[in-house]
Amino acid sequence: MKITSIKGMHDITEPESFAWRYAENLIKKQFEDFGFTEVRTPIVEYTQLFTRSVGEVTDIVQKEMYSFLDKNEESLSLRPEGTAPVVRALIEKNLLSHDPIQKLFYLGPMFRYERPQKGRQRQFYQYGFEVFGVAQPRQDAECVFMLVDLYEKLGLKNLSVSISSVGCPKCRPQYLEKLVKALSAQKSKLSEDSQKRLEKNPLRILDSKSPQDKEIVSKMPVMLEHLCSECEIHFEAFKNDLKTLNVNFNVNKNLVRGIDYYKRTVFEITSSSLGAQDAIGGGGRYDSLVEELGGPSTPAIGYAGGMERLIMLMDQDFEKYRPNLKYFFVTPDEKGAEKAFLLASKLRQKGVKVEIDHSGRSMKSQMKRADRLKAEKVAILGGSELEKGIVLVRDMATKQQTEVSFEDLLK
């Protein structure tokens, strides 16, 4: 019986994998240039970590988590998002005692049981970052700037930055009271999902994609008009700092995040090139999460983006991301093959990317493979070249051939 991959979990092979590697390397460099260090957390955590941090009434916890009991009857879950595990690691490793400001980034697989669609799988990949220990809005603006700059370096087009504020524990309860009252009066006209959210997570209704909900939401009170003075000052400073960095943005009064821990700043980066599901990623400030998970009171801001959608927005000529192959050794006979085997190994020790075909196929077949692998140069080495102590090097772009001594080749 033929065994296939699990629904919603797919393989990434060449040439697409070249684009993934290129993007991942650029993401890592960008984050490191801005002072972040990498953190790698397990893909399995105690389920309680997500119910406490993400929120028991969110779609992630209620519908989408891969949870199971292990042999000790402990409830474990495949991580559905990256922030909670990073916060858990921050607390467990006591990182803030080493430096009160921690800037961490991650890349890796996440898992959510939802209907697979273009750019969204059940095993999907996220890159993200978290900044701990800084409450100032200038940090928020720097994070947004870093992302916009990253996406421009990756060649992404038609980008939009949306920002808002979801208030804080001081001003949000009064706003929620007004919102629930206004939505309750329209409950029968809301979609089925929004009617359920009205009881447990009314803010999510503001982000509904249902046409019938959008019309109702357009007439609802908005959080930005109910901010306390501290939240208003923070939001105004955030906008001014974005302007200082020449980041174009729009204020979206209905922008919310689907996770409970967000406070004050929220933002989302989209591309009209993606169609209806246009979000590349989103994030915001979560100043109370570290304390809620047992750590010290610590301001924080973070972001997560999906690799699949990022790849969809990059140049789809994936071959252009293929790593450069410096030499491909072509060996017409066994004597040449033996020497090429040694030379190729020495070049690799020097950090040179080299390929050699050990299959014993014809020169014509080897040349075709060198061409397919986009080799910069072909190094031809047979018995006649061996007698002269040279390698015949052919530049695949100009087709010019040069005789190069073994010693010079290794230099």
Which residue, of 282, 313, 344, is where some domain finishes? 313
Asked whether residue 37 is domain-assigned, the answer is: yes
Same domain? 309 vs 333:
no
- Asked if 65 and 112 touch (Cβ cutoff 8 Å), the reply is yes
Same domain? 124 vs 167:
yes
- From the list 207, 204, 261, the residue with the least C-alpha distance to 88 is 261
81-94: burial string, b at 16+ Cβ within 10 Å, e else: bbbbbbbbbbbeee
pLDDT at 303: 97
Alpha carbons 30 and 146: distance in angstroms, whole number? 8
156-165: burial string, b at 16+ Cβ within 10 Å, e else: beebebbbbb
Specify the residue for token string 């993200």: 128
pLDDT in tens, the chain (411 residues): 899 999 999 999 999 999 999 999 999 999 999 999 999 999 999 999 998 877 655 566 667 889 999 999 999 999 999 999 999 999 999 999 999 999 999 999 999 998 887 777 999 999 999 999 999 999 999 999 999 999 999 999 999 999 999 998 888 888 888 888 888 888 888 888 788 787 777 877 877 777 778 888 888 888 888 899 999 999 999 999 999 999 999 999 878 765 667 889 999 999 988 877 788 999 999 998 999 999 999 999 999 999 999 999 999 999 999 999 999 999 999 999 999 999 999 999 999 999 999 998 999 999 999 999 999 999 999 999 999 999 999 999 999 999 999 999 998
CATH number of the structural domain spanning residue 75: 3.30.930.10
Asked whether residue 198 is domain-assigned, the answer is: no
Same domain? 38 vs 75:
yes
The CA distances from residue 301 to 39, 123, 128, 206, 375, in Å, are: 16, 25, 11, 22, 44
Which residue, of 313, 341, 374, is where some domain finishes? 313
pLDDT at 321: 94
Same domain? 113 vs 245:
yes
- pTM of whole model > 0.85? yes
Asked whether residue 300 is domain-assigned, the answer is: yes
The CA distances from residue 322 to 18, 57, 361, 372, in Å, are: 5, 44, 24, 11
Same domain? 372 vs 308:
no
Same domain? 254 vs 386:
no
Same domain? 30 vs 117:
yes
5-29: burial string, b at 16+ Cβ within 10 Å, e else: eeebeeeeeeeeebbbebbeeebee
Asked whether residue 216 is domain-assigned, the answer is: no
* Number of domain units in the chain: 2
Same domain? 376 vs 258:
no
pLDDT at 394: 96
- Asked if 191 and 212 touch (Cβ cutoff 8 Å), the reply is yes
pLDDT at 56: 58
pLDDT at 61: 66
Asked whether residue 92 is domain-assigned, the answer is: yes
Asked whether residue 393 is domain-assigned, the answer is: yes
Asked whether residue 2 is domain-assigned, the answer is: no
Asked whether residue 319 is domain-assigned, the answer is: no
Domain that holds residue 361: 324-410
